[in-house]
């Protein structure tokens, strides 16, 4: 036999009690706390039953558990022998009732197992090829204050930027190297014709923006290249920008020359 409200009194007084140790509390307060806990459990079961209304096995089992909880709450609310508040009946739970409740919990766990399996193994995102009617993949690339619009299609490897060849627009070899990095990493040199329009920022920022746009466009033309380009860091937008100037400063952090007098 398991006694729910096992009481250990120090003085034998029915008005106050301490549960072995700790502060002394009234039996009335203990029963009120127990009633509140049971009521919360009952409310949770009610919410679960809203989703299991069509289940011929699960819903009746939950209904039986709710009815038993209602009976326990009713016992808690029975008037005492003196007629002052709840707490007249001593609540007990038999071993058979505990075993039955454990079996019901096992049944609920079995019924909820498929739902747990769906949440534990989310499906991996599948990327699809995205091209327009002309067979081009489009993407936008950004770096510093520069923004580039990039169109990629099958071709011989010609790269045009703002109507000019890449070697003319980006005369510095290091900028041309930056431009071709995603193509080299994906092993797609001389396989795509690329048309770009870029504005804002300087040549260095524009080269980074075009590289970002080419990388994104390649993943939309060939989704299989996403792993290689992401590993190389070409799909990540570089958030580093020039720090803003502050008032009272010559630049972002540079101070004016100090004058002692």
Q: How far apart are CA 87 and CA 32, in angstroms?
A: 9
pLDDT at residue 102 is higher than 70: yes
Position 3 scores a pLDDT of: 39
Q: How far apart are CA 177 and CA 205, in angstroms?
A: 14
Q: How far apart are CA 65 and CA 62, in angstroms?
A: 5
pLDDT at residue 190 is higher than 60: yes
For the segment 174-187, the average pLDDT, to the nearest whole number, is: 94
Which tens digits make up the pLDDT trace of 28-39?
566 666 766 777
- Three-state SS for 2-69 is EECCCCCCCCCCCCEECCCCCCCEEHHHHHHHHHHHHHHHHHHHHHHHHHCCCCCCHHHHHHHHHHHH
Confidence bin at 78 (pLDDT 50/70/90): low
Position 28 scores a pLDDT of: 59
Name the residue with tokens 């001593």: 90
Position 64 scores a pLDDT of: 83
Confidence bin at 86 (pLDDT 50/70/90): very low
Using a cut of 0.95, tell me whether the model's pTM lies above it: no
Tokens at residue 77, please?
A: 């609310």
Position 126 scores a pLDDT of: 86
Position 4 scores a pLDDT of: 43
Position 220 scores a pLDDT of: 94
pLDDT at residue 1 is higher than 50: no
Position 8 scores a pLDDT of: 45
Cα four-point dihedral sign 109, 114, 115, 118: positive
Position 45 scores a pLDDT of: 78
Question: What is the number of helices (H) and of strands (E) in the chain?
Answer: 7, 9
pLDDT at residue 12 is higher than 60: no
The answer to whether the CB of 159 falls within 8 A of the CB of 196 is: yes
pLDDT at residue 154 is higher than 70: yes
pLDDT at residue 91 is higher than 70: no
Weakest mean pLDDT among 25-39, 50-64, 70-84, 245-259: 70-84
pLDDT at residue 225 is higher than 50: yes
Position 215 scores a pLDDT of: 96
pLDDT at residue 85 is higher than 50: no
Comparing 152 with 13, which gets the higher pLDDT? 152
Comparing 117 with 195, which gets the higher pLDDT? 195
Confidence bin at 116 (pLDDT 50/70/90): low
Position 16 scores a pLDDT of: 47
The answer to whether the CB of 137 falls within 8 A of the CB of 131 is: yes
Comparing 124 with 101, which gets the higher pLDDT? 124
Specify the DSSP element, H or E, that contains 91. Answer: none
């Amino acid at each position: 036999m398991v006694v729910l409200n096992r009481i250990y009194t120090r003085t034998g007084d029915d008005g106050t009690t301490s549960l072995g140790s700790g502060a002394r509390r009234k039996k009335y307060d203990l029963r009120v706390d127990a009633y509140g806990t049971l009521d919360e459990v009952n409310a949770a079961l009610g919410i679960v039953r809203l989703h299991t209304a069509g289940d011929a096995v699960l819903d009746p089992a939950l209904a039986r558990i709710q009815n038993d909880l209602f009976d326990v709450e009713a016992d808690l609310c029975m008037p005492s022998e003196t007629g002052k508040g709840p707490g007249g009946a001593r609540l007990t739970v038999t071993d058979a009732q505990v075993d039955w409740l454990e079996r019901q919990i096992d049944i609920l766990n079995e019924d909820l197992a498929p739902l747990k399996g769906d949440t534990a193994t989310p499906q991996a995102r599948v990327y699809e090829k995205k091209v327009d009617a002309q067979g081009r993949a489009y993407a936008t690339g950004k770096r510093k204050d520069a923004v580039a619009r990039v169109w990629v299609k099958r071709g011989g490897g010609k790269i045009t930027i703002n109507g000019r060849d890449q070697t003319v627009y980006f005369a510095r070899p290091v900028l041309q190297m930056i431009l071709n990095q995603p193509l080299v990493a994906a092993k797609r040199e001389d396989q795509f014709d690329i048309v770009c329009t870029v504005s804002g920022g300087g040549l260095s920022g524009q080269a980074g923006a075009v590289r970002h746009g080419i990388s994104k466009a390649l993943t939309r033309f060939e989704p299989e290249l996403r792993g290689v380009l992401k590993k190389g860091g070409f799909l990540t937008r570089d958030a580093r920008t020039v720090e803003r100037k502050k008032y009272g400063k010559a630049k972002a952090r540079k101070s004016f020359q100090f004058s002692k007098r």
